[in-house]
Chains A and B, each alone.
Chain A
């Protein structure tokens, strides 16, 4: 309880990478 784990980096990373990819997707779709 109250401690960071490796899993935090993994799962926060999944969300950040996914939204980051979505931001790139916005750019790609805009050029479609």
Chain B
């Protein structure tokens, strides 16, 4: 069978498996967030009650959006402070077999903000700069918590659409607790054990000495990898124990773990779309959004695969055979693990940039310019293609509000979404969220390319150097965490700027989204009429895709033209960077 057919079958197979896993998980999550009984309820309800009692939480309290947002912000500030102090003082804290010293203040700030903000951008090397205590009780714990925080915002928004004339949108502490206790923790226990069974290391030791096949002795870094790996992928986080992330064989030892990691990254964000459909009382609404995400994802995979498989034209001109055949996978293999090849590297990269995954098993910088540019495009379209846990869908629903507003303007209908009349207040709030991200990317990139300290961080010159800088800020503001590679992000300039950018991308989106939730909860629900633009049809799916693409294209096309697009043109003319 031709290699390309096999690769396409692999992509389709992945889609089928993710759909088969995401749908039942989505229905389960809908039950969890609605407070209905699940098969885990008898076991976990006593634990949940203990958590509320110890933390002094009244689970029956219904919060207005302002109280919900304030609880979230204060909770995140407390989490940041604890993690920051842990990173700074890990040298004098226990469980430090690698004798890691405290991080410098700017790096501790960058790392703490990154993990509390669900970005997991890593300007440090985990195997040498983080103690086991910090890894487990600091970073891995934050992966659970920050993922749960993203889910709370989405659930509050979905719940608000189902309420009529209400002043409250739910209880932040209850949503938070249910997210990690009923969803993340049980799946992570199973996932962690599966990873261990495949050879992912899990130990409190820092290093192990082994004898190589040549007879020499080699010291290898190890650690609590399997436990981290489980939530790193399931929580769409991305902060690995090792600097090489999922390209490291101790994090991702087999082709099966590569698939498991990819499935784990997408299963909750995809499942939440069905949770949305279920909780909205119309599964077609969820399917319409799911279809928009799936089409955008298929385009991303198709473009990246096509350009990577075509390879570098300069090598072809030099007589290098890059065509896939029975004896070679072909294509551009620079920066890729031979274990995974082009197809699985592309699928991994695509789904981890389309979602807020932040995991990597290949070097983005080594991809052909358009493939790297497609990964960048995925980040620029606000990672709404399934996205992170919660944040992907709540950003997509923000785009949905813009879509119904634009449709209303075009055909003269009153904008409505899920039975709620969408007014100027909701559109203003949606635009505040969209603009925060755009400012975070464009303004910060502009500062970096003007400042000597920003330019000093580049590894490459020309358009590729711009892509390195642009990618870093796009990844940070999108709370993604993948790196393009090449950029020295550990300098004072970048640790500070990227840290602030993560804060902007996280909280300046969450506040307006929660305000939208408060606004729509207070409205009455209208019955569909002849003037209602249906939002559960293929037409709406197309409109939604159009809004996502146009907002991304109009905003970022100029800078993309100076980065990956220019690099592609120069590559075809024989100039490489």
- Is chain B a partner of chain A in the same complex? yes
Binding site for B on A (CB under 8 A): 1-2, 5, 7-8, 10-12, 14-16, 18-19, 22-23, 25-27, 29-30, 32
- Flag if A10 contacts B105 (CB, 8 Å): yes
Given A1-B92, A30-B518, 7 new contacts (CB under 8 A): A11-B496, A14-B499, A15-B77, A19-B76, A23-B70, A25-B511, A30-B65
Q: Lowest 3 CB-CB distances: which A-B pairs, in order?
A: A7-B105, A11-B109, A1-B91
Instruction: Say if the beta carbon of B185 comes within 8 Å of chain A.
Output: no
In the bound complex, do residue B70 and residue A26 qualify as a contact, i.e. CB atoms below 8 Å apart?
yes
Interface size on B, residues (CB 8 A): 38
Q: Determine if B511 and A26 form an interchain contact, defined as CB atoms under 8 angstroms apart.
A: yes
B109 and A2 form a contact (CB under 8 A) = no
Please pick, from B112, B428, B503, the residue contacting A18 in the complex, using a CB distance under 8 A: B503
Given contacts A29-B512, A32-B515, contact A1 B102 (CB under 8 A): yes
List chain A residues, Cβ under 8 A from B428. 32
**A22 nearest CB across to chain B (Å):** 5
Binding site for A on B (CB under 8 A): 65-66, 69-70, 73-74, 76-77, 80-81, 84, 88-89, 91-92, 101-102, 104-106, 108-109, 112-113, 425, 428-429, 432, 496, 499-500, 503, 507-508, 511-512, 515, 518
B514: nearest chain-A partner, CB-CB: A26
A19→B66 CA distance, assembly (Å)? 14
**Which chain A residues border B69 with CB–CB below 8 Å?**
26
Q: Is the interface of A mostly helix, strand, loop or mixed?
A: helix
Chain B's nearest CB lies how many Å from the CB of A19?
Answer: 5
CA gap between A9 and B66 in the complex, in Å = 29
- Tell me the total A-B contact number using a CB cutoff of 8 A: 75
In the complex, the answer to whether A30 meets B515 with C-beta atoms within 8 Å is yes
Would A29 and B500 count as touching, CB distance under 8 A?
no
Q: Is the CB of B92 within 8 A of A15?
A: no
| Least Cβ–Cβ distance between B118 and chain A, in angstroms | 15
Cβ-neighbour of A16 out of B77, B499, B500, B511 (below 8 A): B77
* B70, A15: Cβ atoms closer than 8 Å: no
Specify which chain B residues have a CB less than 8 angstroms from the CB of A18 in the assembled complex: 500, 503, 507
Once the chains are docked, how many angstroms separate the CA of A4 from the CA of B73?
25
Smallest Cβ distance from A29 to chain B, in angstroms?
A: 5
Q: Are B91 and A7 in contact (CB under 8 A)?
A: no
Between-chain CB contacts (< 8 Å), 8 pairs: A2-B89, A2-B91, A2-B102, A10-B105, A14-B109, A19-B77, A22-B511, A29-B515
List residues of chain B with CB within 8 A of the CB of A19. 73-74, 76-77, 507
Residues of B within 8 A of A27 (CB): 66
Residue of B nearest to A8 (CB): B105
User: By the criterion CB–CB under 8 Å, are B507 and A29 in contact?
Assistant: no
Give A10 to B425 CA distance when docked, in angstroms. 36
Is B88 a contact partner of A8 (Cβ separation < 8 A)? yes
Closest to B90 in A: A1
**Are A29 and B429 touching (Cβ within 8 A)?**
yes
Question: Of all chain A residues, which has the CB nearest B504?
Answer: A18
Q: By the criterion CB–CB under 8 Å, are A22 and B109 in contact?
A: no
With both beta carbons as reference points, the residue of chain B lying nearest to A16 in the complex is identified as B77
Contacting residues, chain B, for A5 (C-beta < 8 A): 105
A8 to B81, CA, bound (A): 11
A29:B106 contact, CB within 8 angstroms: no
Interfacial chain A residues near B106, Cβ < 8 Å: 7, 11
CB-CB < 8 A to A22: which residues of B? 73, 507-508, 511
Chain A positions within 8 Å of B77 at CB level = 15-16, 19
- Chain B residue numbers with a CB within 8 Å of A1 are 89, 91-92, 101-102
* Residue in chain A with minimal CB distance to B76: A19
Chain A residues with Cβ under 8 A from B66's Cβ? 26-27, 30
